[in-house]
Chain A
């Protein structure tokens, strides 16, 4: 099985190679008086990145120690990622207030929280932020595409 300490640098090498191709396709500026162009820095960094990743792979291969790896993403972290993305989508659809009330309540139900106090704290937090941002600091919060 591929080790993450090899897989990640290998992935970065592949991405850097793609970046080098993209860099070579940068449009030419209409007027160029500079000794180095827009492609100089990104190309140099991408090459350095390939070298660093190459050394990291070699270093790992030479490392005799075998460490038992935990999975990169556990079920809890997968829930976290899905929750995060779902909240961002919801907030853009129904706005901050509704999305946060739904999101926070769903989260507490998912974790089978039974204490009513936790629900009350969650809702108070949502309304406090709404008041603080909207009324005190006059910073607009997402209103949601459905209510726009």
Chain B
């Protein structure tokens, strides 16, 4: 407790607080730009921390991380362009709310849910970090395969009208995820001798293409001949207290799920957001509202993705194992500062560890304030006439796709998937399953094959490992409940 209080004093000190605010603000701006992920934001600012003291340096990077994950939701809600993969699930309900004139409400829900998710995650990180890390340490290939399988069942729930069309989109995504060198034996698959394809297809240009470019083309098609179109009318009403009370249980539950998923190495904010969205839909009284501007759907996705922020630091700080790409960059930052992540960090440098913990709580509060104070400013984006907005979306998408690897090849990938998403939209085939399958496909394949090697060709790992079995049962239950739900919706 003493360490934590000292940590709070450090977080509000003149040396730390300004860099914390700068980090969160920078993260929000970076996250809101399509193509610039929280990982990229942390990586970009990493060199600036080399000359800084360890605590402000790490606090600034964690501020960027927290702000970046939230920032992704701004573009997702207002432009249907997820700034980060973690915000892909936010589009489903957030953007629908925005086009209904509830942009301010959607942004405030995103800010509050992100805050709750992030806060829960930080509290859990402080309280039970070692226990969770120990649990995650028991995960091996069969558990990861079962987790990926469970994640893939979410395809069933994000398949809007037709389950078969959703599955078809899922298989397209799985095949795309298999381009490149095979993860076990390094056999090139579907590379056609093109060097850029050997490392596989990068998820970010795919995401930009499927969501941003295809949306730009959709908007262009709908553009009325009257160019001076009237800006959509919407009110600036933010989340009311009764609505807050309604979404609070969803936020808490999603925050806890997000923290658990984040603490499993390899499972990031994108998977968490979809898993929380699926769970919220499964237990909802009105599941038909999901995808049509549901507050619960938006809150679940946002709380779920920010819930990962603390969770991913659990294996990093306690075991020295990064939970996702961002924590891998943070691992680099710790090493640069001469610190060795692991159990000894808690005993040798408690002031830094608890400084990070306290700053995470402060960073979440700063993020909430920025989120609320910026609503009017963010909402102006949607008031920009479409005739101007469409090329802006297209230009940002192209630049975002290029900026990932400074590669025109990625621009080509973004355009290809933009056209694919546009055509699939016309055929009423959802795009989200493609993204989900690209994220989870490699995890499922690699770990299934590793499991088969471990068990010498036997499939018994599916039922003789309790954690794996639990995930498989969750997966079966998830598909069953979704199918039952869809049947009920059809008969209603």
Cβ of B244 within 8 Å of any chain A Cβ, yes or no, is no
Q: How many of B's residues come within 8 Å of A, CB to CB? A: 58
- Check if B158 is an interface residue, CB within 8 A of chain A: no
Provide the B371-405 mask, 1 if CB < 8 A to any CB of A, else 0. Answer: 00000000000000101100110111011001100
Report the minimum CB–CB distance from B359 to chain A (whole Å). Answer: 23
Interface membership of A2, Cβ < 8 A:
no
The answer on a CB contact under 8 Å between B408 and A121 is no
- In the complex, the answer to whether B178 meets A42 with C-beta atoms within 8 Å is yes
Q: Let me know if A142 and B174 touch, CB within 8 A.
A: no
Q: Does A122 contact B (CB under 8 A)?
A: yes
Q: Is the CB–CB distance between A34 and B220 below 8 Å? A: no
Given B189, B399, B427, which contacts A133 in the complex, CB threshold below 8 Å? B399
Beyond A35-B452, A37-B185, A139-B403, is A49–B394 a contact (Cβ under 8 Å)? no
| Known contacts A38-B184, A38-B185, A42-B189: A87-B395 contact under CB 8 Å | yes
Which residues of A sit under 8 angstroms from B362, Cβ to Cβ? none
Contact residue range for chain A? 35 or more
A59: B residues at CB distance < 8 A:
164
Contact A26 B44 (CB under 8 A): no
Give CA–CA (A90, B407) in the complex, Å. Answer: 15
A77–B185 Cα gap in the complex (Å)?
43
Contacts of B213 in A (CB 8 A): 84
CB distance from B358 to the nearest CB of A (A): 28
| B5 contacts the other chain (CB 8 A) | no
Mark the stretch among B165-173, B306-314, B339-347 that contacts chain A: B165-173
Within 8 Å of chain A (Cβ to Cβ): is B30? yes
- Can you name the residue of chain A whose Cβ is closest to the Cβ of B457? A35
- Please give the distance in Å from B365's CB to the nearest CB on chain A: 25
Among A95-148, those with CB < 8 Å from B are 96, 100, 103-104, 107-108, 111-113, 115, 118, 121-122, 125-126, 129, 133, 137-142
Q: Are B171 and A45 in contact (CB under 8 A)?
A: yes
Main secondary structure of the interface of A (DSSP, over half): helix
Pair count A-B, CB < 8 A: 157
Across-interface contacts of B167 in A (CB, < 8 A):
48, 52
Note all chain B residues with C-beta closer than 8 A to A22: 190
Chain B residues with CB below 8 A from A74, complex form: 221
- Given A56-B165, A77-B422, A112-B227, A137 contacting B44 (CB threshold 8 A): yes
Query: Are B175 and A19 in contact, CB atoms less than 8 angstroms apart?
Result: yes
Chain A residues within an 8 Å CB radius of B422: 77
Q: Which residues of B contact A49 (CB under 8 A)?
A: 168, 171-172, 175
- Which of these, B44, B220, B391, B452, contacts A103 with CB under 8 Å? B391
Residues of chain B within 8 A of A55, CB atoms compared: 164
In this complex, the member of B36, B171, B221, B449 whose beta carbon has the largest number of chain A beta carbons within 10 angstroms is: B171
Q: Say yes or no: A88-B408 contact (C-beta < 8 A), given A36-B449, A81-B419.
A: yes
Complex contact A34–B184 (CB within 8 A): yes
Nearest Cβ on chain A to B444's Cβ, whole angstroms: 8
Choose among B182, B220, B452 the residue that contacts A38 (Cβ–Cβ < 8 A).
Answer: B182
A142 touches B408 (CB 8 A): yes
Q: Which residues of B contact A8 (CB under 8 A)?
A: 423, 427
Contact A100 B395 (CB under 8 A): yes
Closest B residue to A91 by CB, please name it. Answer: B398
Tell me the minimal C-beta distance from A131 to chain B in angstroms.
Answer: 13
Which residue of chain B has its CB nearest to the CB of A33? B453
Say yes or no: A32-B227 contact (C-beta < 8 A), given A42-B178, A85-B415. no
CB-CB nearest in chain A for B414: A88
B402 touching A77, Cβ below 8 Å? no
A129 with B427: CB separation less than 8 A: no
B395 with A104: CB separation less than 8 A: yes
- B216 interfacial by beta-carbon distance below 8 Å: yes
Asked if B221 and A76 sit within 8 Å, CB to CB, the answer is: yes
Interface residue ranges of B172-216 to A (CB < 8 Å): 172, 174-175, 178, 182, 184-190, 213, 216
Q: What are 16 inter-chain pairs, A to B, with CB distance below 8 A?
A: A4-B427, A12-B172, A27-B187, A34-B449, A36-B449, A45-B174, A52-B171, A56-B164, A59-B164, A80-B221, A83-B394, A88-B398, A88-B408, A112-B227, A139-B44, A142-B408
